A and B are shown apart, each in its own frame.
Chain A
Amino acid sequence: MSKHHIEVTINGRRHTADVEARISLSDLLRDNAGYTGVHVGCEHGVCGACTVIVDGLAVRSCLMLAVQANGAQITTVEGLAAEDGTLHPVQQALLEEHGLQCGFCTPGVVMTLAALTGNNAKPSEQQLLGALSGNVCRCTGYQGIRRAAKRLACAETGEHA
Chain B
Amino acid sequence: MKPAPFDYVAPATIDEACAALADAGGGATVIAGGQTLMPLLNLRMSQPFIVVDINNIAELKGVSRTPGAIRVGAMLRQYEVLTHETLQRDLPVLVQAVQHIGHHQTRNRGTVGGSIALGEPAAELPATAVALNATIEARSVSGTRQISAADFYLGPYMNSLQPDELVTGISFPDWPRNHIPLFRELAQRPGDFALVGIVGALVIDAGKISRAGLAWFGMGPTPIKASTAERMLVGQTLESIDPQTIAEEAIADTAPFDDQHASAEYRRTVGKRIFASALRDALKAGETA
Interface size for B (C-beta < 8 A) is 32
A131 CB-CB contact with B under 8 Å: yes
* Interface set, chain B 1-42, CB cutoff 8 A to A: 1-10, 31, 34-35, 38-39, 41-42
A43 interface residue (CB < 8 Å to B): yes
Q: Which residue of A lies closest to B42 (CB)?
A: A43
Question: What are the 4 closest A-B residue pairs judged by CB atoms, nearest first?
Answer: A134-B103, A21-B8, A1-B5, A131-B104
**Interchain residue pairs with CB less than 8 A apart (17):** A2-B6, A4-B8, A20-B5, A21-B7, A22-B2, A24-B2, A24-B3, A43-B43, A44-B42, A57-B79, A59-B105, A63-B38, A65-B34, A68-B55, A131-B105, A133-B190, A134-B103
Cβ-defined contact, A58 with B105, below 8 A = yes
The answer for the CA separation of A130 and B79 in the assembled complex, in Å, is 14
Number of interface residues of A (CB under 8 A): 29
Q: Does B109 contact A (CB under 8 A)?
A: yes
Contact present for B104 and A134 (CB under 8 Å): yes
Neighbouring B residues of A27 by C-beta, 8 Å: 2
Majority SS of interface residues in chain A? mixed
Chain B at the A interface: SS class: loop
Question: With an 8 A cutoff between CB atoms, is A75 at the interface?
Answer: no
> Which residues does A use to contact B, with CB under 8 Å?
1-2, 4, 20-22, 24, 27, 43-45, 48, 51, 57-60, 62-65, 67-68, 112, 116, 130-131, 133-134
| Interface status of B106 (Cβ within 8 A of chain A) | yes
Once the chains bind, are A22 and B6 in contact (CB under 8 Å)? yes
The answer to whether B106 touches A45 (Cβ under 8 A) is: yes
Output the least CB separation between A48 and chain B (Å): 6
User: Residue B7 contacts which of A2, A43, A51, A64 (CB distance < 8 angstroms)?
Assistant: A2
When the two chains form the complex, which single residue of B4, B6, B38, B103 contacts A131, counting CB atoms closer than 8 Å?
A: B103
The answer to whether B53 has its CB under 8 Å from any CB of chain A is yes
List B contacts of A45 (CB < 8 A): 35, 38-39, 106
B155 at the interface (CB under 8 A from A): no
A21 adjacent to B104 (CB under 8 Å): no
Nearest neighbor of B189 in chain A, beta-carbon distance: A133
Cα–Cα distance between A111 and B38 once the two chains are bound (Å): 21
Asked whether A63 lies within 8 Å of B103 as measured between CB atoms, the reply is no
A4 to chain B, nearest CB (A): 7
- Is the CB–CB distance between B38 and A2 below 8 Å? no
Measured in the bound complex, the distance between the Cα atoms of B34 and A68 in whole Å is 10
Closest to A20 in B: B5
In this assembly, does B51 line the interface, its C-beta being within 8 Å of a C-beta of chain A? yes
Interface assignment of B108: CB less than 8 Å from any CB of chain A: yes
